[in-house]
Amino acid sequence: MEAKQISASKDPSQRVRVRVPAKVNLALCVGSLADDGYHPLGTVFHALSLFDEVIATPGEPGTVVLTMSGEGLEDVPADETNLAVRAARLLAQRHGSPDLGVRLHLKKTIPVAGGMAGGSADAAGALLACAMLWDLDTIPDDLHELAAELGSDVPFPLMGGNAIGRGHGDQLVPLLGRGTYHWVLALAHEGLSTPAVFRRFDEMAARPDAAPASTEIPCAVAEALAKADPQALGKALRNDLQAAALDLRPELAQILQAGLDAGALGAMVSGSGPTCAFLAGSESAAMDLSAALAKLPQVRATRRATGPVPGATVLG
Ligand SMILES: C[C@@](CO)(OP(=O)(O)O)[C@H](O)COP(=O)(O)OP(=O)(O)OC[C@H]1O[C@@H](n2ccc(N)nc2=O)[C@H](O)[C@@H]1O
Ligand SMILES: Nc1ncnc2c1ncn2[C@@H]1O[C@H](COP(=O)(O)OP(=O)(O)O)[C@@H](O)[C@H]1O
């Protein structure tokens, strides 16, 4: 696309605030490692009411200055490798001009390295916030394309709701569903690296007794969403990365079992982990479940959330 001439405002009172959701994968079906170094996926994304905020204000030309607040920041890079900074740079380069500048503030609530796509949410939020701040001529497809370049999980937080993801998880189709679901998240003391979990998945898939890897999404998840049936959804949850995450972190199995014993309709590791996600039958069941899980020594903290919620949204 031709670069547009932009004279972005330097008025620091001008600011754009974007709220971006976390995700869980209701189904995460993982194929065999492909030549591009990625695993093909068939997944059902579900956006949760656990949000990061991205606040963009005008910056000096050509600069992206990042500040952050929230928990877990010691594990988040504050330099040019931060996904939100990379997103702002990529957007300026492809759809703006090198003169554009921005100050980005991330208010982080989504657990870092927790399998809930917090960094991806920040990148998605930065794309939308900067496109608005710089008044760029971008359409949603442009942002989606840049999002997929930044990471497999970055396009979904732009869309939100429920969606089927194929390819690396970046080829999205919205999935119609009914009902609001109550979730409890059990956060771990330490994050897990996504590439490390995929590597362990490969090692386990190479064992002679391993089931063949497949990206076929079982119908049960879409059927449960169509019927707004939390019981059926709880039974249908599936995560092919779970065995690898449990192999790396055996204590997660105890957390999952404790949640089921405390009445969860379903339990799974979220994405590549280590956050454990539990489906509850109602808001009050979620409160009870959260209280029970919070007592476990393996659990750093719990969060309650509902889903599905909309994707990246400009506030006020
Ligand atoms: C597993 C999932 C499920 O939604 O989420 P998380 O648990 O990380 O949130 C995603 O596929 C994670 O997406 P994301 O965290 O954006 O990963 P990327 O930055 O694209 O990839 C990081 C690395 O993970 C591995 N990777 C990622 C995606 C994929 N389909 N196959 C892979 O093998 C590759 O080694 C890649 O270099
Ligand atoms: N804005 C960001 N927020 C969180 N992590 C980030 C960010 N930018 C880069 N990262 C890196 O991405 C890694 C994965 O973090 P995150 O997206 O929170 O988890 P996950 O990939 O498990 O869903 C972190 O360990 C961190 O090094």
pLDDT string in tens for the chain (316-residue length) = 333 334 444 565 689 999 999 999 999 999 999 999 999 999 999 999 999 999 999 999 999 999 999 989 999 999 999 999 999 999 999 999 989 999 999 999 999 989 999 999 999 999 999 999 999 999 999 999 999 999 999 999 999 999 999 999 999 999 999 999 999 999 999 999 999 999 999 999 999 999 999 999 999 999 999 999 999 999 999 999 999 999 999 999 999 999 999 999 999 999 999 999 999 999 999 999 999 999 999 999 999 999 999 999 999 8
User: What single letter denotes the amino acid at residue 22?
Assistant: A
d(CA 99, CA 245): 44
State phi, psi for 172 to the nearest 5 degrees.
-110, 140
Active site residue 153: yes
d(CA 110, CA 117): 8
pTM metric for this prediction: 0.95
Say if CB 104 and CB 84 are below 8 A apart: yes
- ipTM attached to this prediction: 0.96
β-strand 41-58 against 16-30: which pairing, if any?
A: antiparallel
Q: Which candidate in 52, 108, 122, 153 is catalytic?
A: 153
Fold category of 16-174+310-315 in CATH: Ribosomal Protein S5; domain 2 (3.30.230)
Say if CB 105 and CB 73 are below 8 A apart: no
Nearest-CA residue for ligand 1 atom 6 is 115
Ligand nearest to the CA of 39: 1
Q: Would you call 46 helix, strand, or coil by DSSP? A: strand
- Per-position b or e across 240-272, b if 16+ CB within 10 A of its CB: bbbbbbbebbeebbebbebbeebebbbbbbbbb
The full set of domain ranges for the chain reads 16-174+310-315, 181-307
Cα angle 94, 97, 103; round to 5: 100
Q: Would you call 58 helix, strand, or coil by DSSP? A: strand
Compute, in angstroms, the gap from residue 113 CA to the centroid of ligand 1: 11
The CATH architecture to which 181-307 belongs is: 2-Layer Sandwich (3.30)
Tell the residue number behind the tokens 């590597």, with chain if given: 199
